[in-house]
Structures are given as C-alpha cells and as structure tokens.
Amino acid sequence: MPDPDKPSFRLNRRQALSLVAVTAAGGALMSQRAFAQEAGASADTAGLLPGADVCVITPEVTEGPYYFDPALDRQDITEGRPGVKTQVRLQVVDAQCKPLSGARVDIWHADATGVYSGYANQTGGVDTTGETFMRGTQMTDANGVAEFTTVYPGWYRGRTTHIHFKVFLDETNILTGQLFFPDALSEFIYKNVAPYSDRTEERDTINTNDNIAAQATRASFAYVKELADAYLVAMIIGVDPSATSSNLGGAGGAGGPPPGGPPPDGGNGGPPATGSSRGSLVPGVEAGN
C-alpha cells in the first residue's frame, strides 16, 4: 500500500474512496469492507448504520470558537453555497446500540472555502456576521437518525477536515463532538474540484497531526459512500443517557484557533496526500469543474 504521508503519493477518486477509514492515531488505513465487517462483529447491529464503530460512547471534544444556535430546524443547510453535495447521516444510540429517538442534533462546519457563517475576522478578513450557512438542527427519528444535506467541508489552517456536532438529550446531557473524513478523499476534492481547488495555499494539518482528531479517536471517523450525485457521510454517535455534559458553556469557548490562525500544538505531521486526474470523478460534478 502506498504511504499517504509521502509527497509522491497519488491516487484517483475511486482509490480514495476505498480508503474510507483513517485512525486518529497513526493514520492506518482500512478498506470499506473490512471496516464494516469489524464494526458488525462486536454486536447485533440490525437497524444500525453500516461501516462505523458501534456500541461505544463517542468521545466528547471541544466545541470550538464558532458555535451558535441559529434556531434553524432544517435538513438542507447549504443556503445555495457551492461545493460537493454531501448527505450527513447521524444515528444516535446508547451503549447497548438502542437508537434514541427525539434527540436534537445540531451540526455546523466551514464552507468550501474554509469559512464559517456568523463571525468576523476570519481568513483574509472575511466577515460573515449575520449569515447562517452550514448550520442546522434536526430531531432524530424512530431509528435515532438525523440527516442533513450540505457540501463537503473546506479546510482552514490549524485543523483537519471536520464537521462539528452537538447531541442534546436534555438540558444537561449534551454531547459535543466532531466528525472526521478520510484524508485521501479530502485531498482529492481539494485539488480537483472548484471552488476548493481555487485556493492556492497548502493545507498544514491532516488527521495524523490534528490533536482534536486524536482526542476524538477512531469512533469519530465517518463512513463514506459514493452515491449517484453526492457522498453519503454516516456516523453512529454513542451517548450515555445518564451522563451530564462537561461542556455546557455558551457559544464560543476555547477550542482551537479561528480559520487563519496557527496550527495546534503537536508539530507538523508531514505533507498531506495529493490527488491527480481531473474530470467527472466526483458525484454531481461535471467534467472540467
């Protein structure tokens, strides 16, 4: 298998998709089939999303500096902004794999250019005060599932590709976490698809040198599947219904630098993987875009 930490590593979109699981510690790669088989071997997973760690409590990590509640109960959170269409499917379960219905799930993330809505003083002086793109809330259904339509997140300095989420069971049981992506697929999209590829700067942080990804563990890495016109990004979120959250603060809070800030402590993990050929290789994207 090629070494993704070497600059000579090149792969196409299909090869990128075959490397769907990247561990936070060490960057080991596992095939989609092996990941699903391993996840299914530990428990009865009938009715649960495929290809993800199950029956484990998802580690709580920092909220970060860009959370606020826009009170937007909606599935499509893009507000028409460009990017590779992505369906985010999150299933909330307890440690016995019982789906939890009626839980509130919030997600938020950077757009294709690496910018969050609702904040000033971002990369290049960007001010998105008053905007609400890439933010939304859904309640879990009878199967514990909340689903969102969005675009593949862009990157910003100091962080690997990620989506933030909060799961609210009640006023004191709030799990704050982050969902992570395969670096190989992220890098392919960033190098080959506009508007991601319009950026001239290079990423400085990938999964293996992102401290928050390490804290989140493999349980927070998404299962990714190619659909006809989008990517499906799925993750099972394990929560403890009897817990009290340690992260009950309001919007903002410590949790990493804003876009454009310095990378987190821990050093540089080496150059990220790079993509190669352009063309109609990404669902929903025409050749040449």
CB 233 within 8 A of CB 222: yes
User: CATH number, domain at 205?
Assistant: 2.60.130.10
pLDDT in tens, 29-70: 233 333 334 334 333 444 566 555 556 788 889 888 889 898
Helix, strand or coil, per DSSP, at residue 235? strand
Q: Which pLDDT score, from 0 to 100, does residue 218 have?
A: 87
Q: Which pLDDT score, from 0 to 100, does residue 172 have?
A: 87
First to last CA, the chain: 29
CB 243 within 8 A of CB 171: no
Q: Which pLDDT score, from 0 to 100, does residue 220 have?
A: 92
Q: How far apart are CA 55 and CA 46, in angstroms?
A: 12
- Establish if 288 belongs to a structural domain: no
- Establish if 271 belongs to a structural domain: no
Q: How confident is the model at residue 270 (pLDDT cuts 50, 70, 90)?
A: very low
More confident of the two residues 216 and 276: 216
Half-sphere exposure of 170 (CA within 13 A, CB side): 6
pLDDT in tens, 123-150: 788 999 999 999 999 999 999 999 999 9
Half-sphere exposure of 113 (CA within 13 A, CB side): 13
Q: What is the sign of the dihedral through the CA atoms of 123, 124, 130 and 132?
A: negative
Mean model confidence pLDDT for the chain: 75
Q: How far apart are CA 155 and CA 206, in angstroms?
A: 10
The secondary structure of residue 280, as a DSSP letter, is: S
Amino acid at 160: T
Helix, strand or coil, per DSSP, at residue 190? helix
Predicted model pTM:
0.73
- Establish if 121 belongs to a structural domain: yes
Tally of domains within the chain: 1
Q: Could you tell me which residues are beta bridge partners of residue 139?
A: 104
Domain span holding position 55:
10-262
Q: Which pLDDT score, from 0 to 100, does residue 243 have?
A: 84
**Range of weakest confidence among 44-53, 190-199, 222-231:** 44-53
Q: Which pLDDT score, from 0 to 100, does residue 262 have?
A: 40
Q: How confident is the model at residue 255 (pLDDT cuts 50, 70, 90)?
A: very low
- Establish if 3 belongs to a structural domain: no
- Establish if 4 belongs to a structural domain: no
- Establish if 57 belongs to a structural domain: yes
Tell me the backbone φ, ψ of residue 163, rounded to 5 degrees: -125, 135
- Establish if 129 belongs to a structural domain: yes
Q: How confident is the model at residue 103 (pLDDT cuts 50, 70, 90)?
A: very high
- Establish if 273 belongs to a structural domain: no
Alpha carbon dihedral 139, 142, 148, 153, in 10-degree steps, equals 100
More confident of the two residues 30 and 155: 155
